[in-house]
A and B are shown apart, each in its own frame.
Chain A
Amino acid sequence: MTDNTATVAQENLAPMLIQVRDLKKSFGQQQVLKGIDLQIPQGSVCVILGGSGMGKSVLLKHLAGLLKPDSGEIIVDGEDLVPMRDKHLQNYRRKIGKVFQEGALFDSMNIFDNVAFPMREHLKVSEEDIRAKVEHKLKLFSLNPAEVNSKYPSELSGGMRKRVALARAVALEPKLLLYDEPTTGLDPITTDQVDQLILHAKSELGVTSVVISHDIASAFHIADQLLFIYKGEIVVRGKREDILNCPHPYVHQFLEKWRQKNQ
């Protein structure tokens, strides 16, 4: 862990959107997070790697305020999430968006209403303004409003659905986007599209992204910072090289398997 201080110090130059200190969480006897320290600069993409059941989703749920830690601090955009109560948390969640694996679009609503939903819930603006905003968000992710507005999620392809999910996630102009395995189960072309969307959200909107992934190639492609979680601990963090040169046996094995598959 000592060799990480250099990268962390370097990133300290940019203002931090997320600061997590010594985050611990147990479910019953099982300690799932064993002291996570994390700093994510504003406007960057952080990718969390690791095998199944290592606590990645649990970490992400803490960032969303869906779970409370046993101990530790989670400071996002200057606010400490840990002592927050329900109402406060709801306000906090308006500042973040989450992109679900399958999109989680409301299948009883058409695309327009899906993207408009968070706006109608939280913004006190007229329907015309909402229409303008929705069309703007759809265009951001290369969707043609005239074409998709009145379609239902089931009528779209997987890649298109993901675009709509992103448009909905950024509907309230969040500062932070969370992605839980956005590409698991997708074909390589759609995976590449999703990577482009993540980078697009960063460059167009200046959003900070935290992405959970299994896919090392795409992680290397999009990440400003990579973390590798093993059994509730961050075993290595940094850039591509830090991961590739990591001596930790599990990381090594993980990379070996990936290399074998790609040859």
Chain B
Amino acid sequence: MNESAPQEKTASLWRFLAPVVGVGHLSIGFVREFGRVLLFGWATLIQMFRGPYRAKEFFRHMREIGFGTLFIVIFTGFFTGLVFGLQTLIAFRRFGAESLVGPATMLALARELAPVLTGMMVAGRSGSGMATELGTMRVTEQIDALEMMAVSPIHYLVVPRVLAAMLMLPFLCAIFDGAGFVGAYIMGVAREGVDPGIFLAETWYGLDPPDFFEGFIKAVFFGGTIALVSCYKGFNAKGGARGVGLAATEAVVISSVSILVGTYLITELLHPFLYGYIYFDSFPQVGP
């Protein structure tokens, strides 16, 4: 009894401290992982400007990302437009501002929902795909084989994917905008009886190019983030099929969280430029 007493004391102390230790480990792990992704991104950036330029790979990944997510993006966009149009109508009806449902829905879509939801869809489909593919290549030593053949794996595997995602996401985002508009129009005009002329005119005058640019700029960043994080996770997969599965899951989770945090940061950063500077100085006001 006497001998076990100090042991029990330390044990209970550890139990008491466990959450602190856990939080500490998590924070250190997060910072370390974040740094590694940044270094990986830096290496990718350097390789991006080195030849040979792999056009074939680049177009293949553009096709895979673009066509692969086209349908879900249209689908998601349409239903987001529908439900967001409906919710906005319910809210605006309380203030008698039903005529503004078009621009209100489209502003939210163009600036925020389209890039974020498109990013989520691409992360879920293409991001997990990239992590799985590169993870499998890692555990079956195909990445080491590239290195042994004097081909930089980052140059061959990562650069085309990152560039393709950065270029493809704004297009998908634009398609989301379009599908969302159709949804909002159907909801506002066909179902809730807003005058079509008013709906279109208000939307036309209420929105400005910078609203869409904000979405597209975000989409470019999200595309880069998704591809980079997913490739990083794939590159560092280990331990067979389980490790590859884990890499894919983590790629989607980290990409999605990064998109949500990133969209806030980008919004804060962009506002002074897009709406304070460019908007007031460069774009002539049109309309009544």
Question: Are B142 and A121 in contact (CB-based, < 8 A)?
Answer: no
Question: Which of B85-93, B148-156, B183-191, B198-206 lies at the binding interface?
Answer: B148-156
Q: How far is the CB of B167 from chain A (nearest CB, A)?
A: 21
Question: SS class of chain A's interface: helix, strand, loop or mixed?
Answer: loop
User: What chain B residues lie within 8 Å of A94 (beta carbons)?
Assistant: 149-150
Q: How many residues of A contact B (CB 8 A)?
A: 22
With contacts A98-B145, A100-B145 taken as known, whether A121 is within 8 angstroms of B151 at the C-beta atoms is: yes
Q: Which residues of A contact B195 (CB under 8 A)?
A: none
Complex interface: stretch among A19-27, A104-112, A140-148:
A104-112
Residue of B nearest to A90 (CB): B150
Give B118-160 interface residues, CB cut-off 8 Å to A.
133, 136-137, 140-142, 144-145, 147-151
Shortest Cβ distance from residue A258 to the other chain B in the assembled complex, whole angstroms: 27
- Distance of A90 Cα from B148 Cα, bound (Å): 8
A159 within 8 A of B: no
Question: Contact size class for B?
Answer: 10 to 19
Chain A neighbourhood of B145, CB < 8 A = 98, 100, 104-106
Interface class of chain B by DSSP? helix
In the complex, the answer to whether B150 meets A91 with C-beta atoms within 8 Å is yes
Tell me, rounded to whole Å, the shortest Cβ–Cβ distance linking A124 to chain B: 11
- A97 at the binding interface (Cβ < 8 Å): yes
| Shortest CB distance A61–B (Å) | 9
Distance A66 CA – B147 CA, assembled complex (angstroms):
9
For B149, the chain A residues whose CB sits under 8 A away are 93-94, 117-118, 121-122, 172
Taking CB as reference atom, which chain B residue is nearest A66? B147
Cα distance A79–B147 in the bound complex, in angstroms: 20
Q: Find the A residue at minimum CB distance from B60.
A: A108
CA A94 to CA B147, docked complex, whole Å: 10
- Per the bound structure, the CA–CA distance linking A108 and B143 in Å amounts to 13
Q: Write the nearest CB–CB distance from B243 to chain A, whole angstroms.
A: 15
The chain A residue with its CB closest to the CB of B156 is A121
Whether a CB of chain B sits under 8 angstroms from the CB of A102 is yes
Residue A193 CB within 8 A of the other chain: no
Give the residues in chain B near A64, CB-CB below 8 Å.
148
Which residues of B28-64 have CB atoms within 8 Å of chain A's CB atoms?
none
Q: With an 8 A cutoff between CB atoms, is A191 at the interface?
A: no
Chain A residues contacting B136 (CB-CB under 8 Å) are 107
Q: Tell me how far the C-beta of B54 lies from the nearest C-beta in chain A, rounded to whole angstroms.
A: 10
The residue among B140, B142, B147, B150 with the most chain A CB atoms within 10 A of its own CB is B150
Contact A104 B141 (CB under 8 A): yes
As a 0/1 sequence over residues 70 to 109 of chain A, the CB contacts with chain B under 8 angstroms (1 = contact) are 0000000000000000000011011011101110111110
25 contacts between A and B (CB under 8 A): A64-B148, A66-B144, A66-B147, A91-B150, A93-B148, A94-B149, A96-B148, A97-B148, A98-B148, A100-B141, A104-B140, A104-B142, A104-B145, A105-B142, A105-B145, A106-B137, A107-B136, A107-B142, A117-B149, A118-B150, A118-B151, A121-B150, A121-B151, A122-B149, A122-B150
Q: Which residues of B contact A (CB under 8 A)?
A: 133, 136-137, 140-142, 144-145, 147-151
